[in-house]
């Protein structure tokens, strides 16, 4: 069964809550707009998709405000002098003495014991002192926009990171040690890898995923069938692994910013395989990797022709109107929107709603907000108007910049100075298999949700009428991850602020991906869990954290236990597909969409 997503929806019906009219100035077409946009799109390619106006504006805001604060200038000068004294005093300190400056919790560049030796320690401490000074220089300046302060701090740290002593072979004790032990072979191997990567970049070749893991064989290997396909997604139904199953099926809604198989890696760490093995009938959406032909697909198309089409299919195939819906990341956001719209319209097919590292409020959306303002979004729109989509490389670049000390510099040191090829992993293979974003949808998402926060501000319209998350009566299971840079857990926690239903909030260790892929038996994992009863008073996140003790192990059994409590009796497994109802089997899982690069 195939259908096409609706195109050119009115702004009011897209789900963004954007008004369906423009001012006369906005609506007026200027004769040279196309030429201007093409030029800006070309400049965006040159500047790495970063708005130079936004960067310059942030620096100007900082300079102007620091320039009229002589007292703060004196304070910063004093801080620099105090740091210099600390560095001088540390020169003669023993290796056992705690240094005055320490790297951040996610900065592993200085983990090698050689950094405790006096000469290397002095360089490391001077570098960290620079970071510390810029943190102070961009903090608490009256009148300075908070976003500009964060952006200047970010840009200063990016510039300083290029000067880190860990990036130079002669000032990195780990590199020197490896070179001596290998008689220089590590440096030669690194040079060879660097030349290969440079040649690939000059040829504009995409980096192929490692061959050790194959999608459909090693990864995304849980048995199932594609039971529905349209222009936006394929729906996979997984084969039962138990004699009986819970009456209510599970529909998993992954983010279209990623391939779905982050939830179906190897069998031993596949959340989908785990749920099927626990006696659930599981369906999963596999979004298409869009090209320019889907440039006009809207955010609301992902709700109607995506999620709601999947809900209809699951209900028909299983014969059960009640569905456990589970959304991950951006998939959780669109699930929240759909659930609120369904509740408003009297559609009670959702037995429960599970949100995995998914935000509904974007006022504290983390470091991604450093890249978002009117100038930056307009630049992306110019670029997308030329391409029809935002490319995977452009998406990945922003995420890498946020964690540059780990994802850029430390990786470069290991690869080019230590000569160590990255170990092939299932998560690494998935991470390299990135996706694109349709132009219209991405623009609506950035503006309506990230920039204007319309969903929780009561200004997000679906089918011309504003929706409210508090209308959702289905029980909710919300998961945040402790070190998430994409969806910070305190932002995810705010779901509790805008809903009133029965809700479990669970906070697990690790980050946006690693915290979700946390199978039983995974070492060094823990979680906290709490229950908010309907109508209970709000508890702020820090109080919640202090009042809920950690539990060792995986959080997956907690989800299964919760789903059990909201499920009916066990029944015989439903049939695979439903050809008589228009949902025939279209092939084996993982289908064809997941293979599109």
Parse the chain into domains and list their residue ranges: 52-159, 224-367+436-595
Helix (H, G, I), strand (E, B) or coil at 332: helix
Per-residue pLDDT, 100: 94
Helix (H, G, I), strand (E, B) or coil at 438: strand
Structural contact between residues 311 and 323, judged by C-beta atoms closer than 8 angstroms = yes
Strand 503-508 to strand 526-532: parallel, antiparallel, or no bridges (unpaired)? antiparallel
Residue among 551, 564, 540 at smallest CA distance from 508 = 551
Task: Give the Cα separation of 528 and 176 in Å (integer).
Answer: 43
Helix (H, G, I), strand (E, B) or coil at 582: coil
Task: Give the Cα separation of 285 and 288 in Å (integer).
Answer: 10
Listed in sequence order, the DSSP H helices in 413-540 are: 426-432, 439-445, 489-493
Hunting for tokens 């529905």 — which residue is that? Answer: 228
Task: Give the Cα separation of 82 and 89 in Å (integer).
Answer: 11
Tokens coding 348:
């009670």
Task: Give the Cα separation of 170 and 176 in Å (integer).
Answer: 7
Helix (H) or strand (E) holding 478: strand 476-481
Hunting for tokens 């994802």 — which residue is that? Answer: 407
Task: Output the CA–CA distances (angstroms, integers) from residue 212 to 165, 341, 420, 424, in the order listed.
Answer: 34, 43, 17, 7
Helix (H) or strand (E) holding 350: strand 350-356
Task: Give the Cα separation of 343 and 559 in Å (integer).
Answer: 23
Residue among 237, 121, 202 at smallest CA distance from 585 = 237
Task: Give the Cα separation of 206 and 33 in Å (integer).
Answer: 33
Helix (H, G, I), strand (E, B) or coil at 590: coil
DSSP string across 181-212: HTTTHHHHHHHHHHHHHHHHHHTTPPPPPPTT
Per-residue pLDDT, 7: 40
Task: Give the Cα separation of 139 and 135 in Å (integer).
Answer: 6
Helix (H, G, I), strand (E, B) or coil at 104: coil
Which neighbouring-strand residues pair with 478?
Answer: 355, 505
Which neighbouring-strand residues pair with 552?
Answer: 526
CA 264 to chain centre: 17
Task: Output the CA–CA distances (angstroms, integers) from residue 336 to 19, 353, 560, in the order listed.
Answer: 21, 8, 21
Per-residue pLDDT, 32: 64
The answer to whether residue 284 is catalytic is no
Structural contact between residues 114 and 122, judged by C-beta atoms closer than 8 angstroms = no
Per-residue pLDDT, 106: 77
Q: Note the pTM of the prediction, 2 decimals.
A: 0.88
Specify burial of residue 475 (Cβ count, 10 A radius: 0-12, 13-18, 19+): buried
Structural contact between residues 470 and 442, judged by C-beta atoms closer than 8 angstroms = no
Task: Give the Cα separation of 427 and 522 in Å (integer).
Answer: 14
Helix (H, G, I), strand (E, B) or coil at 583: strand
Strand 570-571 to strand 245-246: parallel, antiparallel, or no bridges (unpaired)? antiparallel
Q: In angstroms, how far apart are the furthest CA atoms of the chain?
A: 82
Per-residue pLDDT, 334: 98
Question: Choosing from 284, 326, 329, 501, which is the catalytic residue?
Answer: 329
- pLDDT, averaged per 10 consecutive residues of the chain (597 residues), comes to 39 45 46 68 66 85 94 95 95 85 87 93 95 93 90 90 94 96 94 89 63 90 98 98 97 95 97 98 97 95 98 96 96 98 97 98 82 81 84 67 71 92 88 90 93 94 96 98 93 97 97 95 96 95 97 98 96 96 96 95
Helix (H) or strand (E) holding 286: strand 282-287
Residue among 531, 452, 501 at smallest CA distance from 343 = 501
Q: 224-367+436-595 has which fold?
A: Rossmann fold (3.40.50)
Tokens coding 329:
């990341």
């Amino acid at each position: 069964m195939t259908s096409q997503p609706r195109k050119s929806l009115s702004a009011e019906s897209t789900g963004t809550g954007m008004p369906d009219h423009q001012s006369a100035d906005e609506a007026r077409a200027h004769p040279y707009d196309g030429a201007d946009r093409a030029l800006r799109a070309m400049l965006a390619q040159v500047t790495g998709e970063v708005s130079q106006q936004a960067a310059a504006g942030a620096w100007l805001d900082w300079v102007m405000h620091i320039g009229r604060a002589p007292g703060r200038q004196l304070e910063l000068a004093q801080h620099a002098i105090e740091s210099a004294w600390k560095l001088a005093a540390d020169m003669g300190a023993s290796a056992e003495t705690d240094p005055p400056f320490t790297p951040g919790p996610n900065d592993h560049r200085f983990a090698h014991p050689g950094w405790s030796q006096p000469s290397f320690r002095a360089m490391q401490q001077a570098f960290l002192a620079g970071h510390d000074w810029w943190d102070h220089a961009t903090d608490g300046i009256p009148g300075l926009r908070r976003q500009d302060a964060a952006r200047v701090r970010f840009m200063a740290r990016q510039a300083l990171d290029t000067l880190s002593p860990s990036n130079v072979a002669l000032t990195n004790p780990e590199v020197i040690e490896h070179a001596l032990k290998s008689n220089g072979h590590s440096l030669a191997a690194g040079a060879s890898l660097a030349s290969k990567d440079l040649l690939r970049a000059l040829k504009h070749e995409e980096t192929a995923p490692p061959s050790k893991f194959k999608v459909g064989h090693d990864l995304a290997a849980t048995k199932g069938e594609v039971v529905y396909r349209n222009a936006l997604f394929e729906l996979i139904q997984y084969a039962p692994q138990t004699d009986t199953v819970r009456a209510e099926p599970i529909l998993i809604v992954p983010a279209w910013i990623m391939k779905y198989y982050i939830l179906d890696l190897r069998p031993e760490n596949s959340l989908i395989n785990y749920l099927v093995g626990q006696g659930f009938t599981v369906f999963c959406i596999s979004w298409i990797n869009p090209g320019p032909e889907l440039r006009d697909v809207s955010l609301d198309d992902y709700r109607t022709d995506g999620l709601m089409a999947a809900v209809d299919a699951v209900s028909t195939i299983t014969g059960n109107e009640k569905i456990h819906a589970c959304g991950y990341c951006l998939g959780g956001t669109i699930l929240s929107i759909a659930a609120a719209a369904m509740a408003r319209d009297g559609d009670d097919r959702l037995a429960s709603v599970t949100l995995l590292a998914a935000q509904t409020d974007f006022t504290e959306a983390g470091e991604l907000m450093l890249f978002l303002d009117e100038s930056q979004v307009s630049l992306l729109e110019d670029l997308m108007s030329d391409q029809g989509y935002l490319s995977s490389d452009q998406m990945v670049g922003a995420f890498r910049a946020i964690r540059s000390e780990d994802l850029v510099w430390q990786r470069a040191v290991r690869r080019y100075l230590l000569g160590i090829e990255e170990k092939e992993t299932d998560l690494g293979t998935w991470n390299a298999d990135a996706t694109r974003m349709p132009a219209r949808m991405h623009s609506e998402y950035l503006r309506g949700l990230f920039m204007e926060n319309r969903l929780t501000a009561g200004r997000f319209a679906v089918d011309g009428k504003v929706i409210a998350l508090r209308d959702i009566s289905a029980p909710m299971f919300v998961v945040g991850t402790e070190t998430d840079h994409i969806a910070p857990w305190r932002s995810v926690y705010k779901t509790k602020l805008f809903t009133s239903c029965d809700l479990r909030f669970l906070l697990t260790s690790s980050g946006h991906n690693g915290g979700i892929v946390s199978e039983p038996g995974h070492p060094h994992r823990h979680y906290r869990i709490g229950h908010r009863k309907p109508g209970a008073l709000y508890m702020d996140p820090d109080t919640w954290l202090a009042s809920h003790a950690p539990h060792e192990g995986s959080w997956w059994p907690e989800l299964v236990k919760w789903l059990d409590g909201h499920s009916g009796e066990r029944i015989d497994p439903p049939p695979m597909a439903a050809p008589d109802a228009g949902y025939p089997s279209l092939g084996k899982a993982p289908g064809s969409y997941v293979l599109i690069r």
